[in-house]
Amino acid sequence: MKHLCDQLLLHLGEDRYINVYLSFNTEAESWFLIYENYADQQEVRTGEADSEGELLISIEMAVQFCPFCGVHLK
């Protein structure tokens, strides 16, 4: 189950190298904010990544409210 938030795109824009979403984990019975950042051409050129699209950062944190619209996630 995912929380679809209209405010998310207003905060992040349409960046194909960043993936942010809120997902419910049934095992933990909790909502998580998932942030993933993928390498772009600039990061490949500077040597921070081997290839475009490589996962550079992945963060998951438990949340009770949507940080973008404030909705209480139940």
For each successive 10 residues of the chain (74 residues), what is the average pLDDT? 77 68 88 91 93 93 91 89
Domain parsing of the chain, residue ranges: 2-63
- The pLDDT value given to residue 24: 92
User: Residue 44 burial by CB count (10 A; 0-12/13-18/19+): exposed, middle or buried?
Assistant: middle
The pTM of the full predicted model, rounded to 2 decimals, is: 0.74
Q: State how far the Cα of 63 lies from the Cα of 74, in Å rounded to an integer.
A: 10
pLDDT of residue 56: 93
